[in-house]
Structure 1
Amino acid sequence: MSRYIAPLMIGVLGTAILVGLGVWQMQRLAWKEALLAEIEARMELDPVALPADPDPVADRFRPVVLDGRYGEGLALVTVPAEGGGGVRLRVIRPLELEDGRRVLLELGKVSPEVIDSFQTLPVYRGSGILYWPDEVDVFTPERDKGGNVWYARDIPAMAAELGTEPLLVIARAGEKGNPLLVPSEPDPARIPNNHLQYAVTWFGLAAVWAGMTVYWLLRLRRRRYLER
């Protein structure tokens, strides 16, 4: 009987861990679906005046009204082109509002081949989405100062460089702008949500682990029967 204890414990423990990981992913799925629904609902709200002190949590994805003139300077952020193959550049400019505040405005994405001929009107009147990107880590390369190219949206560093508040607003997709621009408004449908796939994987592994445990025990039983 003692020969069955170790395989049985390994089988039960491994299966329990894998099932637990599957349950955790299902809980993450429910959380992500609720979050995406909240983001979508927030983005459908009517635009409001830019808050005096926007909150990165409460005001994330909130539509706001903007009316101002572009300041000097430009930041270009590399991003993979949709569908693969090449890159595009996020175009970010300082915008000085009528009340004197200066914020960063992301106008959209443009092909590097046409960036030299890219032009905008001197003013922007429309709406945008408040956004706090989290893209910078220890692996992010230093920006190319010569070409003013960044490899992530480092808002505090960009704000210091362009003389604005550390606040990013992304122009709404429906706003009229340069025809060369591809809108970069956040899309909840494109936010990764793979938790169901992960859950199925963990539950599948749990079933395989349990099956292999049963097979192991049957082999031990058969061996014991042959040894008699």
Structure 2
Amino acid sequence: MSTKRILTLVIVAGAVATMIGLGIWQLGRAEEKEALLAQYEAATDLDPVAYPVIVPAEPPLYRRSSLNCLEVVDWRHQAGANAAGQSGYAHVADCRTSAEGPGAAVEIGWSREPVAGTDWEGGEVAGVIGPDERYGFRLVAEAGQAGLETSAAPSPDAIRNNHMSYAFQWFAFAAIALIITFLAMRRKPKT
């Protein structure tokens, strides 16, 4: 066997081993994600918690809570859904919750209008804690504020666990690489 073929086999073997390793890693991630989703699902039935003043290592996602928005300091209007599942805009107020605190995000409701609800000045809000890209978590109001419709409540059902399909892809890539290499090695080298 030529040096070129041996080098090709070594490179392919390394690539296949890496792809199999990534597939196994994704299988482990799938189990971790299942456990996390089960934890989130269980949280929906637990008693309400105090809204975190300091950002915790693991926010209490999908738990019921409440907070007092003392002052709205900024607005965000982003794609969202209402309680009936219709697409539109979620309106998120960034609030000051204490004299010095970092604040909190409150999704006050939903509308078809890209900008709405900005006349809301704050106050007591109860709802469910969901993910937020700015603060890591936010309170989604259980009832629309400022004349807005109620937003869809955050749900662990919205989190997909794609790790099994990723694992399958890595294993398929490894198999394809082996098949292509086998077919290429069967050909007689040109002399």
Scaled by the length of structure 2, the TM-score of the pair is 0.71
Indicate yes or no: 2:46 matched with 1:79: no
Indicate yes or no: 2:175 matched with 1:194: no
Q: What are the ranges of 5 or more consecutive residues in structure 2 without an aligned counterpart?
A: 82-86
**Corresponding pairs, count:** 181
Indicate yes or no: 2:10 matched with 1:13: no
- Letter in structure 2 aligned against 1:80: A
Change (3 A) 1:114 1:206: closer
Which secondary structure does the structure 1 equivalent of 2:157 belong to? helix
Question: Shift of the alpha carbon at 1:170?
Answer: 1.0
Whether the 8 Å contact between 1:73 and 1:93 is mirrored in structure 2 is: yes
Rg bigger for which structure? Answer: 1
Question: Shift of the alpha carbon at 1:205?
Answer: 0.8
Runs of 4+ in 1 over 6 A off after TM superposition: 118-122
Matched residues in 2 for 1:185 and 1:123: separation? 20
Hey, which of these two has a bigger chunk of strand by percent? 2
Question: CA-to-partner distance for each residue in 1:24-72, whole Å, 9 max, x for gaps?
Answer: 1111111111111112212321113446x5552344216354375x544
Scaled by the length of structure 1, the TM-score of the pair is 0.61
Matched residues in 2 for 1:25 and 1:60: separation? 26
Question: Percent of aligned pairs with the same residue?
Answer: 29
Which secondary structure does the structure 1 equivalent of 2:166 belong to? helix
Hey, which of these two has a bigger chunk of helix by percent? 1
Whether the 8 Å contact between 1:78 and 1:87 is mirrored in structure 2 is: no
Which secondary structure does the structure 1 equivalent of 2:144 belong to? coil
169, 173, 183: which one aligns with 2:151: 183
Matched residues in 1 for 2:102 and 2:16: separation? 56
Change (3 A) 1:102 1:185: farther
Whether the 8 Å contact between 2:72 and 2:121 is mirrored in structure 1 is: no
Question: Shift of the alpha carbon at 1:218?
Answer: 0.7
- Letter in structure 1 aligned against 2:139: I
Written as runs of structure 1 = structure 2, the 5 A alignment for 1:61-76 is 61=61, 63-66=63-66, 68=68, 71-73=70-72, 75-76=74-75
Question: CA-to-partner distance for each residue in 1:147-196, whole Å, 9 max, x for gaps?
Answer: xxxxxx3x4xxxxxxxxxxx964135xx3335632425322111242212
Change (3 A) 1:37 1:95: same
Whether the 8 Å contact between 1:103 and 1:169 is mirrored in structure 2 is: no
Whether the 8 Å contact between 2:30 and 2:161 is mirrored in structure 1 is: yes
Matched residues in 2 for 1:54 and 1:18: separation? 41
RCO greater where, 1 or 2, for CA within 8 Å and sep 6 or more?
1
Written as runs of structure 1 = structure 2, the 5 A alignment for 1:142-181 is 153=134, 155=135, 169-171=138-140, 175-178=142-145, 180-181=148-149
- Letter in structure 1 aligned against 2:168: V
Q: CA RMSD in A?
A: 3.6
